[in-house]
Amino acid sequence: MTIKVIVKGKVQGIALVAKNPMNFLGAVDKKTGKVRDEKHDLFGKSLAEKILVFPYGVGSSVGAYTIYSLKSNKCAPQAMICLKADLTTASGCALANIPLVIASKDEYDSIKDGTKIILDAENGKIL
Amino acid sequence: MDLTKDEEAALKGEQGETLALAYRILVAVGEATDADHLLPVEWAHLSGINYNTIGDAGEEFLAKLSKDAKFKIKTTVNPMGFDFDTVARYDLDDEFITKQKSIKNSYEKMGAIPSFSCIPYEIFDLPKSGTHVSFAESNAAIYANSISKLKTNKEGAFSALASALTGQSPFSDLRKDETRDPNLTIRMKADKKDELAFGLLGYYAGKVAGSSVAISGVSELDRRSCKSLCAGMGTSGVCGMFTLGDAKGETIDFDKKEMQNTHDELNTADSGDIITLGSPQLGLDEILDLAGMLKGRSFKKRCMVFCPRAIQEQARKFGYAKEIERAGGELLYDCCICLTPLIDKKNVDGVITNSVKGAYYLRTSNGVDVNLKSLSQIVEEETK
């Protein structure tokens, strides 16, 4: 299987693909969902309602609360797709009930920024 | 992941909502890291204490959770946004103070030790070598694995919280001996070997390393440099452990040029309005050193010095606190540089610090410019 499901769910939305890893605590404004780190390749963009595609989470463990806050403030991504698992993203998505999958390199690389995708994190499929 | 009958029942909610939530988090983290079972841990260290970092959503979540949740193992906590003894001196709005108090109360109600420190490894007795713990604070997780001979993953705030509630953690990643062996070596080639150099090395290493990394070209590492290395590494990456000496596999050089590039990424100003020291918070030896360096000198600017409450009390008894205060320093405890509301872009343009971790979060979260330089350079240039 090329998709590993960490948090289940089925959503469709526009893929927002980041090249850089995400330090949620530092880089994301929890009240607006906007990326505020000017050195991040998603600087200025909003994560709200997107299917966020990024390599993996880095940095502060409190990023898990940032993910939970995004959900409470209604500006969270609909789902997240990562290349590698990290505990901050996994535990944040688990508590916030944001579907999260780990994709294989081929699957991950095939997702193009700005395209509409359906993530079936019940059966482990990206369409 | 294989769960025992009891764990399965708790996950289904048969032991209440709190444990169901905790097991849901542990199972997600276990799946993400390919764990096949849970194992007992003896100590949880939690992050997510500062109202500035967790916001209203976090405050409300903890208030609700603490209605019936109790921590099952020794649980210590990270710094808050300020300390309650001196908060009246700062112009903080009442809402912040009320919300911070609520967060503090929630953790204490669940049974947390009110340590409010990011250096638990320096203020508590350590369990015996090889003991599994669950540390969320990134510098503390790296220090625990690399120096304190404990075993922890670089936990997320909620995975450590779930460990505190259940006394368990998934058996994966750095809990397994084979993952603790690094397969990448970073060779320290730069001549500068002060705490700033090691913080920059850590920040660089975090970007390129996996779970564990070897650092070579370093014969010894004093505690100040070691803490700086751990904090830098924890900020930029997923890496949760380092060893000293060469490892098998690839070697990458960290030379003068790479150090300059890393410095350029984090340093955004040539000077600043205030000086901050203590991310990670300073230990007693560092306070003693600082008091010594300040003999006969005074800060030209406001200088905030962050340490744990436990250390502050010792520093006061030994007279070091008085020496730092004589030189114009302010000792703050229960809080740290990172995301403290006491440093606000409304009244501060630039901050001078020797902390790589502080520099990253001051720029991204507090929104202020940072002049990053070593402690000896700060004392030389910013005191008279």
What DSSP assignment string belongs to B88-99? Answer: GGS---HHHHHH
pLDDT of residue A1: 55
What is residue A85's predicted lDDT score, i.e. its pLDDT?
87
Residue of A nearest to B366 (CA): A26
Q: Do both B246 and B132 map to the same domain?
A: no
Structural domain count, chain B? 3
Percentage, residues of chain B above pLDDT 90 = 95
- B-chain CB neighbours of A63 within 8 Å are 156-157
Q: Do B72 and B154 lie in a common domain?
A: yes
φ/ψ of A56, rounded to 5, equals: -175, 165
Burial of B303 (0-12, 13-18, 19+ CB in 10 A): buried
Give start and end residues of each alpha helix (H) in B167-293: 177-180, 195-208, 223-236, 256-266, 284-293
| Domains delineated in chain A | 3-126 (3.50.30.10)
> Is A33 touching B (CB cutoff 8 A)?
no
Look at residue B106 in the predicted model and tell me its pLDDT. Answer: 98
A56 touches chain B (CB under 8 A): yes
Low-confidence ranges of chain A (pLDDT < 70): 1
B160: which chain A residues are within 8 Å (Cβ-Cβ)? 61
Same domain, B166 and B271: no
ipTM for the predicted complex comes to 0.94
CB A1 within 8 A of CB A124: yes
Mark whether B255 and B272 lie in a shared domain.
no
B124 with B13, same domain: the answer is yes
Q: Are residues B11 and B78 in the same domain?
A: yes
Q: H helices within A10-82, ranges in order?
A: 24-27, 63-72
Contact A58 B238 (CB under 8 A): yes
Q: Are residues B17 and B117 in the same domain?
A: yes
Q: What is the CATH number of the domain that holds B154?
A: 3.30.499
Q: Are residues B125 and B43 in the same domain?
A: yes
Given a cut of 50, the residues of chain B with pLDDT beneath it are none
What digits encode the pLDDT tens for the residues B124-162? Answer: 999 999 999 999 999 999 999 999 999 999 999 999 999
Q: What is the pLDDT of residue A125?
A: 87
Alpha carbon of A116: minimum distance to chain B alpha carbons (Å): 25
Instruction: Indicate the Cα dihedral angle A59, A65, A70, A73, nearest 10°.
Output: -150
**Are residue B244 and residue B347 in the same domain, yes or no?**
no
Domain that holds residue B209: 181-264
Task: Say how far apart CA B56 and CA B191 lie, in whole Å.
Answer: 46
Asked if B64 and B100 sit in the same domain, the reply is: yes
A19 CB within 8 Å of a chain B CB: no
User: End of a domain among B232, B248, B264?
Assistant: B264
Q: Which of A60, A61, A91, A104 is an active site residue?
A: A60
Tokens of B167: 């006394």
Q: Hey, are the CB atoms on B47 and A61 less than 8 Å from each other?
A: yes
B289: CATH: 3.30.499.10
Half-sphere exposure of B50 (CA within 13 A, CB side): 28
User: Among B264, B297, B321, which residue terminates a domain?
Assistant: B264
Last residue of a domain, one of B146, B176, B206: B176
A110 included as an active-site residue: no
Shared domain for B152 and B60, answered yes or no, is yes
Check residue A127 and give its pLDDT. 86
Residues of B in contact with A86 (CB under 8 A): 32, 154, 156, 238
Does B142 lie in the same domain as B185?
no
Average pLDDT score over chain B: 96
What pLDDT, on the 0 to 100 scale, is given for residue B89? 87
The residue of chain B with its CA nearest to that of A87 is B156
